[in-house]
Structure 1
Amino acid sequence: MAKIEKPVLFFNNGCRLQVDFRLFVGKLIKYGTGPRDARGVYQKYHTYTANALIFQSAEGYTFDITDENGAKRSINIVEYMRKFKNTVIRHPKWPVVHVGNRNMTNYVPLELCTIVTQPYKGKMEANLTSKMIKGAAVGPKERFKKIEESRKGSEFGTCEVLKEFGIAIEENPIVIENASVIPPPVVRTLDSRGAKVDANVNQKEGKWSFTNGPSRKFLQAATLPKWAILDCDGVLKKEGVSGYFISKLTELGENLGMKGFRITPEVKCVTNGNLRLRHGEKLSKVEQERKLERIRVAFKELKKQEAERRSGYRGLTDRWERLCLRQSGSGTCDKQAFQQREVVGILTACIKSKNVKKPELNKQSQFIQKIGNFLLKLNSKLSGTNFSIKELTEKYFEEKTMILGADVTHPSPNAGGASIAAVTASFDLSCMRYSMHIQPQDGGQELIANMGEILAGQLAKFKESNGAYPKRILMFRDGVSEGYFPTVKQEEYEPMKAICESITEKEGIDKIKITFVIVKKRHHTRFQPMGAKDGVGTFQNIPPGTVVDTKIVHPSEREFFLNSHVGIQGTSKPTRYHVIHDDNNFTMGDLQKITYYLCYGFVRCTQPVSYPAATYYAHLAAFRARHLIEREGENADLKDLERKLTIHPDLAKRYPMFFV
């Protein structure tokens, strides 16, 4: 019996029926039997897992049964359903579904089957995600009002079970009288003449800008090497778009102090010129593969040109690095860019096609802002420094300090496969530049088993850059549930401690002190400002820098909540920080300020983010790595995956922040 492995067309009395078996194979389905009422509801339902769609109709598939007289005879599914299940099959030419035990021939007519509603565990489409976020984005005032309505409707006061256990639900939210707000730090940049200047930071929202106020240039602007543009969506073929984009990129980049834009880039289009898509239509999988192949070929040509130029210009090899700016409106091209960057060694920076098109007159400022944000990322990729935080360099990090961030990302429930562990570490004294380490591990494994080895490599990088090892290490570990706190301390902190003790003894230096903090975003704690004048932004959230370390935190261990970002949509979610070890003996006030100031260090924007930049970078690095191995199956060999995740040595050395 043949199974259907692709969408198939069936015809029933001249009517076309397209069935895609992928919609329900492996899903829980129910099929109905018995009389069918006017609403289409059957008398009885049976629940099974769908195994496959069978290339045979309900009237065409026959099997043997033994009747009441003991005689064997052949019967098809349509007749069987009518006689033994009192079910009329209205579409006998439709195919049947194999359900239940895979080793048995349990076939059910397709028309009787319904997919049982289940939580969707896959990744939602971008437009659905956007709609979901907008639907859930309500300000703190409205959110607290809904919580109060739910509390009243639940009638906790009359619940006998709660009374028996001595549990009572307070009618009003907890009020934190002594919550504090940390002022924003001093952000150090350059003015238009190249002199150091303090940015004009908004004291309430923590934002600053390179277009308004004294800040005009990056603290350390990079020089753009030989560069090219790969147009993956064909947007630059339109008249005037390419020239306008390059001119604006050049103008804004030079205003920020960057150099090298005057070298005319090669613009290469890798789209299918004969393909025309309607608005909102997506590429088929076949076209996506063809597009990826064209991108691969384009990268190979760039690499070949680079090799030819290097052979002809010996002694100038450092100047022939190739940067590719790519216009992409989907993740398809991004995946190939990641592979070419990490494996082949070509530095890439991606920008969406909608952000490249020449804007209307009333949207000029938005276009300039998007190009400016892109340049923040580009300068950092090219080993430049956009800005620094004065309090960190001149007060808290007077002693050499290394900041670590760690995160583990897991495959989606439907995908399976390996998990990715990522660790980022600062290697300059301003704690603005980071290197990264990524590695695959068993799917679902939360702990980073070889943390000691990873730290040893990052310490060597720090010493190479600064001539000495750090005296202090501050680790921010993301993605760990409370039940794992003791295990993380044993399996991750202890190996770090052992490596530091080994280096201390070998080098004859002072003890390298470690502070280990766990960062948690997955919680249900929310805050609301007491008065309207205390709110910030459109949704009137609590201001950045708000710290709560009483009443709702652990009674005996060091813990605090910090809201470091401006809430753009909905109610701000504060980040919870739990200290599991602290050799540096930071006061709570100092640790809170250091943590908050590190949230300003994220190079891709000019405002604080929701948790320290090192942890944000670790998340980005793990996300990039997943693109490289997402097609690998759940049985993929970890050694093979580790080989595929190996970063090109030239890229890692020249541009350690290539992953931002």
Structure 2
Amino acid sequence: MERRQGRSNNQQQNRNNNNQRFNDRPKTSLSAASTQEVMIYTNQFKVNIKKNMAVYQYEVIVTPSVQETQEYHDIMHAARKSFCLSIGTYTVSGRTIFTPVDLGEDVTVDLDIYGKKYEIVINASSKVSFNQNSLGEIGMNDRIQVMNLINNILKNALRGMDNLRQIGKLPKFFDESQGRSFYDGLIQSCPGFRASAFSYSTQMAVVLDSVNKFIYNKTCLEIIREIEEDETINPKDVRQIILDEFMFKSVIGKWGQKIPYLVLDVIFDKDPYTFTFVDKNGDTVTMAEYFKSKIEIENKRNDPKSLRSKPLNPKLEKNQPLFLVKMNGKEVHVPPELCIVDKLPNSISNDFNTMRELLTSSRKTPNQKFNAIEGFSKKLFAQKILKEWGIEVDMKPMEFKSKVLESPLVQLGDGTEKICQQNDFRALSIQNSVTLTDSQWILAFDQRSRTLGQKVEDMLYLASQKLGMTVEYSHKMELKNTRDCSEFKRELQAYIKTYGKPIIVVFIIPKDDKYKDFKKICYDESVKSQVISFKIANKIEPSIASNILKQINSKLGGDLFKIKFSKNVNKKTMVCGIDVCHAGNKSTVGFCATINKEMSQYYSNKIYQAKKTEIVSKQLKALIKQALQSYENLNDSYPEHIIIYRDGVGDQQRRDVLQSEVTQFKDAINETYNKSSNKPKITVIVVNKRINQRFFIENHNQDLENPPSGCVIDSTTVGEITSNQDFDFYLIPQKTTQGTVIPTHFYVIYNDSPLDRATIEKLTFDLCFYYFNWSGAIKVPAPCMYAHKIAELYSTLQHNKTTDDLDIQQSLHFL
């Protein structure tokens, strides 16, 4: 498809040349009708396997045996010349080697590395072969192997292209020569691409996307020195602050192949001149000696694609701590002087104006993104290595028709119903409002901010009139020093002792760093709270006050609105959300479940588990039983259908969810329902927001734009399409006007209910509007976002106390 070449001077000419082609396409309007169809253009290219193509997979055996760590990778790297002489074209994935050559006998290579002798054998008897005919018949495990092969081939093709270099831990390749510098070179914005294979029900495709990376050019040692020299920091806290800055963060080495490392610890009692190790030649060297030799050789090469503006200094600075890092499963030490952080530091990412400037500079419109992808695809798919493997990729991206779902049906306050579009939700009045009773809610602030506190209360009262919510006078809590949370704790306890628990505490804090301290005190007393920062309080006006009141109303059990779901959805349905946050010292599981028939009110709780653990292997059953009991308490019966939206799980982890988490759901059901034969049906939907697929539609000007809200893709680029028990679909719930929209991928991995594909798609879309902290649709269903907020909150608090107060558990207190 020869198109999207730019629409400036040649715009009219391109239109004239393409008129006939565009006239042949179906014309669609963008109304929200359920039968509406749109033509979808994608960033996906069909993979064609040549008829004579054959690939052979063999096991690699290393003796003596080594773990798949950096040592293993060094051994395989050292053997590459021997492999090339023996088998020609090949690629390695873990302990598997792929080649177009049918080996008649074992291939053996002897090496001497790290002062040890190794024997590497390509085991001919372990052969597994793939060809054009067998690819359509192989099972999923073999399909994964084929995808791994194609991904390796694509990475090698990208590595062979001029000016492209992989930066960071993900297979993304960037062109630093096209980068832009900001703030005197402190930040560099680099454009790039990523390509990956994807297996669909009837075909395989390459997904190609344009990406951008911000590189912070200040070294980790410079960041450490700034912390050490900061006079506002207590010297006793310096080391801990350095640990907090780098622990479990990814850094990139500035030498060699710019490998990413995960920092496990910061070693303060060693430096590059006192730390020694054995190199691959068997010699004992200091870290300073090792890097001096390595950098001197690299500087002589004068690599034009280097991630730096000047050569590295081969002489490392003394008295610098060392990073203990993890690379390919092995723990090694690296100097901070030769590392940069893998993302922008918090001081920049939390700066709204700076980030707006950076993001605006790198954001592409759908038309620009498609042009970049299509132009680059011609270069990538013409690479020699693809032909060597018998792989051809269509030059034309995939196109197909798709549908747009109808917007949700909302029950209004007067009992009528209305199909509400995105903008309609802003104008909805609160349907079920709560009352902030006279002196039964607390407004806490610094006594020096008395005028500001009064302004906030007045504005809340003014906004309540339009929302139909009653706000009476607060109990003022003037604090002498909001930096000292102990005073607030004493005052709150005194209030509770005299008047009982307040409905809610609203406090104005001077700095965000005190947020978790005030929150912890409230949770210790089982009191709901609402935080307003000085920054927000100073610029408060009716619209801001309205949003604050909507949050408060939701926390106190009020419904902003109610959605009328499809008649096919059982009235006794419980919808659950599960998400895991990996920030902090532990991973935090957020769990929530609807407890009313309108599916608007929730039971919520959390679980702490080992750091970086995604699958919830235990404790989930207890939370499910508590949620079922909360549902029964409110409805006098248990749910008949349970729908679980599991967020944050990759494709390779779906089986683990079934084996571990769904098993806990079934155990909780069996124990709760006892011997009842009417046990609830279960539907499990895995939600994935981090995907590479992009979808576009064409507007009346023949330019590409984002698909409308409600666009669902459930054919052509999906997996199984013949079953209601195991299927997937892509959905674009939100309306996106800036940049290119990222769709959300939903995979139904278990469904023993009568709900069909269309009903699940519509329910999922409707739930994206049911998040009470936003007017309109969000990227994921409300239970997913609520679970995320729960995990994020408790990850910040690291609050080990679990409140047994049902008033807290059965509310949206975490908003």
Amino acid at match of 1:96: K
Q: Post-superposition shift, 1:492?
A: 1.1
Does 2:688 correspond to 1:520?
yes
- The 5 Å alignment of 1:82-93 reads none
Question: In the alignment, does 2:667 pair up with 1:498?
Answer: yes
Equivalence for 1:175: 399
- The CA RMSD measured in Å over matched residues stands at 3.8
Q: Which residue of 2 aligns with 1:224?
A: 436
> Contact 1:29–1:114 at 8 Å: present in 2 too?
no
* Distance in 1 (alpha carbons) for counterparts of 2:485 and 2:750: 48
Tell me which of 587, 592, 607 is aligned to 1:424.
592
Residue in 1 that maps onto 2:808 = 652
When residues 120 and 471 of structure 1 are mapped into structure 2, their CA distance, relative to the original with a 3 A threshold, is: same
Matches within 5 A, 1:460-539: 460-506=629-675, 508-532=676-700
* 1:515 partner SS: strand
Change (3 A) 1:155 1:474: closer
**For residue 374 of structure 1, what is the aligned residue in structure 2?**
548
Secondary structure of 1:176's partner? Answer: strand
Give the counterpart letter for 1:375 in structure 2.
L
Distance apart, 1:540 and its partner CA: 4.4
- In structure 2, C-alpha distance between the alignment counterparts of 1:483 and 1:233, rounded to whole Å: 55
Which letter maps to 1:437? Answer: N
Q: 3-state DSSP class of the match of 2:575?
A: strand
**Which structure carries more strand by proportion?**
2
SS of match in other structure, 1:528: strand
* CA displacement 1:600-637 (0-9 Å, x = unmatched): 111112211111100100000000101112xxxxxxxx
User: Residues 512 and 651 (structure 1 numbering): CA distance in 2 closer, same or farther, change over 3 Å?
Assistant: closer
Deviations 1:369-389 (A, max 9, x none): 222222221101011111100
Normalization by structure 1: what TM-score?
0.70
Cα separation, 1, equivalents of 2:557 and 2:702: 39
Q: Which residue of 1 aligns with 2:385?
A: 161
Partners of 1:422 and 1:439 within 8 A in 2: yes
Q: Return closer, same or farther for 1:401/1:164 CA change in 2, 3 Å cut-off.
A: same
For structure 2, the residue ranges without an aligned partner over 5 or more in a row are 1-223, 232-237, 256-264, 275-287, 297-315, 325-334
Tell me the amino acid that sits aligned with residue 175 of structure 1: E
For the residues of structure 2 that align with 1:371 and 1:357, how far apart are their CA atoms?
12
Task: Flag the 1:113–1:188 CA change in 2: closer, same or farther, 3 A.
Answer: closer
Please state whether the residue corresponding to 1:207 is helix, strand or coil. helix
Q: Does 1:7 align with 2:228?
A: yes
Q: Indicate which of 436, 451, 458 corresponds to 1:247.
A: 458
Change (3 A) 1:266 1:526: same
CA distance in 1, matches of 2:557, 2:573: 20
* 1:384 aligned to which of 553, 558, 569: 558
Give structure 1 regions of 4+ aligned residues with deviation exceeding 6 angstroms.
Answer: 3-6, 23-31, 99-102
CA distance in 1 between counterparts of 2:774 and 2:270 reads: 54
Assess if the C-alpha contact under 8 Å between 2:588 and 2:794 holds in 1. Answer: yes
- 1:145 aligns with 371
Amino acid at match of 1:494: T
Deviates more, 1:396-405 or 1:558-567: 396-405
Paired amino acid for 2:538: K
Distance 1:30 1:201, change over 3 A: closer
CA displacement, residues 378-416 of structure 1 (integer Å, 9 cap, x when unaligned)? 101011111100235xx24443000000011112xxx6x
Contact 1:30 1:113 in 2 (8 A): no
Q: What is the deviation of 1:480?
A: 0.7
Alignment of 1:154-553 (within 5 A): 154-157=379-382, 159-177=383-401, 179-190=402-413, 195-198=414-417, 201-202=420-421, 206-209=422-425, 211=427, 215-216=428-429, 218-225=430-437, 226-231=440-445, 236-237=449-450, 239=451, 241-259=452-470, 261-269=471-479, 271=481, 292=483, 294-310=484-500, 320-328=501-509, 330-357=511-538, 367-391=541-565, 395-411=567-583, 417-450=585-618, 451-506=620-675, 508-532=676-700, 540-553=705-718
Task: Say if 1:116 and 1:248 are closer, same or farther in 2 by CA, change over 3 A.
Answer: closer
**Corresponding position: 1:577 with 2:746:** yes
Q: Deviations over 1:95-143 (max 9, x none)?
A: 93257799xxxxxxxxx99433352486563115544443443321222
Secondary structure in 2 matching 1:356: helix
Identical positions, percent: 21
Shift of 1:336: 1.8
**1:482 CA drift (Å):** 0.9
1:499-528 Cα distance to aligned partner (Å, 9 max, x none): 32444443x351210000100001111111
Q: 1:163 to 1:601 in 2, by over 3 A?
A: same
Deviates more, 1:617-626 or 1:551-560: 551-560
Structure 2 CA distance, aligned partners of 1:340 and 1:424?
Answer: 23
Give the structure-2-normalised TM-score.
Answer: 0.57
CA 1:149–1:254 in structure 2 vs 1: closer, same or farther (change >3 Å)? Answer: same
Q: Quick one: distance in 1 between partners of 2:636 and 2:802?
A: 27
Aligned-partner SS, 2:468: coil
- The answer to whether the 8 Å contact 1:534/1:543 transfers is no
Equivalent residue letter for 1:97? N
1:446-488 per-residue CA deviation (whole Å, 9 max, x = no partner) reads: 1112333321111111101110000001110001111111111
Q: Helix, strand or coil: the match of 2:626?
A: helix
Q: Distance in 2 between matches of 1:9 and 1:448?
A: 41
Letter paired with 2:696: Q
Distance 1:9 1:463 in 2: 56
Change over 3 Å in CA distance of 1:188–1:118 after alignment to 2: same
Matched to 2:690, the amino acid is R
Secondary structure at the aligned position of 2:593 is classed as strand
Alignment match, 1:281: none
In structure 2, what is the Cα distance between the partners aligned to 1:612 and 1:113?
A: 42
Q: Is the 8 A contact 1:245 1:358 kept in 2?
A: no
Cα 1:396–1:377 change in 2 (3 A) is farther
Instruction: Verify the 8 A CA contact 1:199 1:209 in the aligned structure 2.
Output: no
The gaps in structure 1 that reach 5 residues or longer are 11-18, 32-48, 62-76, 86-93, 103-111, 272-290, 311-319, 360-366, 630-640
